[in-house]
């Protein structure tokens, strides 16, 4: 759990990230550019010092008086001699000539420089004077006849170079934070603009309630991530809207179905109560009332079952052999068929097992057989088959009834849909049988299909995945 700080808005977080990354980049660039500048200034300085030392060595003012020598050097070197100085030593390291401002005192001749000189090499050193001033010095030997004849030192205070570098550092110290500030402000503004649509979408989505699911989140047509998000949300709204419509229709249909038998019941009782009746008359009213009550109670049970099924099959799922279920349905179906003068035949039952809930599976198949027997006119035939095909168990119920109009095939599985209303009502259905059967089959991972030829008959097929063979 996070404590303390409130959550940061995405645009603030983006800006912070972006600014931190930019800061790191700018620091690296500043350090690199500062080092590069320092290196190149040092290179220039060393090259220029070496030039002065070489010129002195080659044209040397040895033996000249100090002032004259400075003059001569100034003339000789022009602007190159500006703020530089020269010292000459004999091979023993004794100072001879020097053109050095007194303020700088005397520069020492390091043992390393003398060593290098013996080998004919120049030496570059940075020397710190007692007053903390730093001086860059090159020591160059004059070799005559293979021996060091003189040591020439050219030097330059590093003040100017240090000053240049310090000014550069100051510039960076001002420019880097300024750049960061501008980038952060710019980044924040861009993030704000980019995320404004998200805010708009949030507001629109908030306005959409269950009462008004017809609103949609505007799609700009830019095909970017936000458009895709809007399309996804809109797709969800379409599904939600159609679910709501179905739910409303379902509730209205359910209320309607309940009202009809209740009205009949109420009417019967009211008529019976209007005058004194004989015992037989009361009995007949009660008997017909019981019929209506049974109808309502059946409907309530079906509704309850259907609503439970949408949340999945109830009860423990086990390995279920379909054969005994088929036989049981066949048994009960045969009795119903006898009453209506239809012949029910068991055309075959291969052994097949699925994973599921036996009572639910029995109910699904029973509903199909019940329909087939119910809607097939007397003298017709109904055939029940259990087979295995393509790794699935197939339960087929085929009848020689009136068939179903192809245009209506998709509708019959919806709750409360009855194609031949008058006849269906007489035969007792509320239009929930197929909806329940399909919910059960779907909850078992299967499909319920129908094939039908109007006038010739229908075939309902339950296809269920077979249970894995026990090891």
Of 155, 156, 157, 149, give the one whose Cα is nearest residue 58.
149
> Mask of contacts with ligand ADP, 434-453, x by CB under 6 A?
xx------------------
Asked if 371 is part of the footprint of ligand ADP (rule: CB under 6 A), the reply reads yes
- The one among 156, 375, 393, 400 contacting ligand ADP by CB under 6 A: 375
Name residues contacting ligand ADP, limited to 93-112 (CB under 6 A): none
Q: Which stretch binds ligand ADP (CB under 6 A): 78-86, 270-278, 430-438, 440-448?
A: 430-438
296 binds ligand ADP (CB under 6 A): no
Q: Which residue has the closest beta carbon to ligand ADP?
A: 429
Smaller CB distance to ligand ADP: residue 141 or 431? 431
DSSP state of 222: -
- Compute the Cα dihedral for 407, 413, 414, 418 and give only its sign: positive
Q: Strand, coil or helix: what is 424?
A: helix
Closer residue to ligand ADP in complex, CB, 402/446: 402
CB atoms within 10 A of CB 425: 15
Kindly tell me which residue out of 430, 441, 464, 467 binds ligand ADP, with binding defined by CB under 6 A. Answer: 430
Does residue 98 sit in helix, strand or coil? strand
Structural contact between residues 463 and 334, judged by C-beta atoms closer than 8 angstroms: no
Choose the stretch contacting ligand ADP; rule: CB under 6 A; options: 117-125, 180-188, 349-357, 370-378: 370-378
Shortest spacing between CB 333 and ligand ADP, in angstroms: 12
Of 42 and 418, which has the nearer Cβ to ligand ADP?
Answer: 418
Cβ neighbours of residue 346 closer than 8 Å, sequence gap 6 or more: 326, 327, 330, 383, 384, 385
- Pick the binder of ligand ADP from 138, 372, 386, 464 (CB under 6 A): 372
Least distance from ligand ADP to the Cβ atom of residue 415, Å: 8
Task: Please report the DSSP string for 228-270 in residue order.
Answer: HHHHHHHHHHHHHHHHHHHHHHHHHHHHHHHHHHHHHHHHHHH
Q: d(Cα 57, Cα 245) in Å, to the nearest integer?
A: 104
Residues 350-369, interacting with ligand ADP (CB under 6 A): 367
Among 56, 217, 412, 464, binds ligand ADP (CB under 6 A): 412
Residue 254 lies near ligand ADP (rule: CB under 6 A):
no
Which residue in 73, 303, 424, 448 binds ligand ADP (CB under 6 A)?
A: 424
CB 367 to ligand ADP: min, Å: 6
Q: Is 172 in the site for ligand ADP (CB under 6 A)?
A: no
Q: Please pick, from the candidates 308, 388, 418, 463, the single residue that binds ligand ADP as defined by CB under 6 A.
A: 418
Q: Please report whether residue 77 would count as binding ligand ADP according to CB under 6 A.
A: no
User: Is residue 399 a contact point for ligand ADP (CB under 6 A)?
Assistant: yes
- The least CB distance from residue 401 to ligand ADP, in Å, is 4
> Could you tell me the two tokens for 183?
């980038």
Q: By CB under 6 A, name the one of 161, 458, 462, 464 that touches ligand ADP.
A: 458
Residues facing 398 on adjacent strands: 383, 459
What does the alpha-carbon distance between residue 195 and residue 188 come to, in Å, rounded to a whole number?
10
Long-range contacts of 201-209 (CB under 8 A, 24+ apart): 201/226, 201/229, 201/230, 201/233, 205/233, 208/237
| 215-223, 241-249, 320-328, 395-403 -> range binding ligand ADP (CB under 6 A) | 395-403
Nearer to ligand ADP, 218 or 454 (CB): 454
Residues 293/262, Cβ–Cβ less than 8 Å: no
Q: Are 86 and 99 in contact (CB under 8 A)?
A: yes
User: In this complex, which beta carbon is closest to ligand ADP, that of residue 358 or of residue 433?
Assistant: 433
Asked if 433 touches ligand ADP (CB under 6 A), the answer is yes
Cα(218)–Cα(196) distance, integer angstroms: 13
Cβ distance to ligand ADP smaller for residue 424 or 461:
424
**How many residues make contact with ligand ADP (CB under 6 A)?**
22
Minimum distance of ligand ADP from residue 446's CB (angstroms)? 18
Closest CB to ligand ADP among residues 15, 302: 302
* CB neighbour class for 212 (10 Å; exposed up to 12, middle 13-18, buried from 19): exposed
CA distance linking residue 213 with residue 234, whole number of Å: 10
Q: How much of the chain is helix, strand and coil, in % rounded to 5?
A: 55, 20, 25
The residues binding ligand ADP (CB under 6 A) are: 367, 371-372, 375, 399, 401-402, 404, 412, 417-420, 424, 429-435, 458
């Amino acid at each position: 759990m996070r404590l303390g700080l409130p959550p940061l808005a995405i645009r603030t977080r983006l800006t912070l990230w972006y600014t931190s990354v930019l800061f790191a980049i700018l620091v690296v660039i500043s350090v690199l550019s500062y080092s590069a500048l320092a290196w190149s200034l040092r290179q220039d300085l060393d090259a220029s010092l070496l030039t002065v030392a070489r010129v002195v060595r080659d044209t040397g003012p040895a033996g000249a008086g100090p002032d004259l020598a400075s003059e001569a050097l100034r003339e000789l070197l022009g602007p190159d001699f500006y703020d530089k100085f020269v010292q000459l030593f004999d091979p023993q390291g004794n100072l001879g000539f020097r053109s050095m401002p007194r303020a700088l005192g005397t520069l020492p001749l390091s043992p390393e420089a003398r060593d290098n000189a013996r080998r004919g090499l120049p030496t570059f050193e940075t020397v710190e004077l007692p007053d903390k001033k730093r001086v860059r010095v090159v020591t160059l030997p004059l070799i005559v006849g293979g021996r060091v004849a003189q040591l020439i030192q050219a030097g330059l205070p590093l003040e100017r170079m240090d000053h240049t570098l310090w000014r550069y550092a100051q510039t960076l110290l001002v420019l880097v934070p300024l750049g960061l500030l501008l980038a952060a402000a710019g980044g924040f503004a861009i993030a704000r603009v980019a995320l404004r649509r998200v805010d708009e979408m949030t507001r629109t989505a908030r306005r959409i309630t269950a009462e008004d699911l017809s609103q949609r989140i505007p799609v700009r047509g830019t095909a970017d991530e936000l458009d895709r998000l809007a399309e996804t949300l809109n797709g969800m709204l379409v599904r939600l809207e159609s679910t709501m419509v179905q739910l409303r229709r379902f509730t209205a249909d359910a209320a309607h179905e309940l009202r009809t038998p209740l009205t009949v019941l109420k009417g019967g009782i009211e008529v019976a109560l209007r005058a004194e009746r004989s015992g037989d008359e009361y009995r007949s009213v009660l008997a017909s009332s019981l019929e209506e009550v049974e109808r309502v109670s059946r409907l309530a049970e079906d509704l309850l079952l259907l609503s439970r099924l949408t949340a999945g099959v109830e009860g423990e799922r086990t390995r279920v052999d379909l054969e005994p279920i088929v036989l049981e349905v066949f048994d009960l179906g045969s009795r119903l068929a006898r009453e209506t003068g239809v012949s029910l035949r068991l055309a075959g039952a291969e052994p097949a097992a699925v994973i599921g809930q036996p009572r639910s599976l029995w109910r699904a198949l029973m509903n199909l057989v019940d329909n087939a027997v119910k809607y097939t006119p007397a003298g017709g035939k109904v055939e029940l088959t259990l087979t295995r095909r393509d790794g699935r168990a197939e339960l087929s119920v085929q009848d020689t009834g009136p068939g179903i109009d192809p245009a209506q095939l998709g509708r019959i599985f919806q709750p409360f849909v009855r194609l031949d209303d008058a006849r269906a009502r007489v035969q007792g259905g509320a239009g929930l049988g197929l909806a329940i059967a399909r919910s059960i089959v779907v909850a078992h991972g299967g499909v319920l299909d129908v094939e039908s030829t109007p006038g010739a008959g229908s075939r309902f097929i339950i296809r269920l995945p077979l249970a894995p063979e026990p090891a």
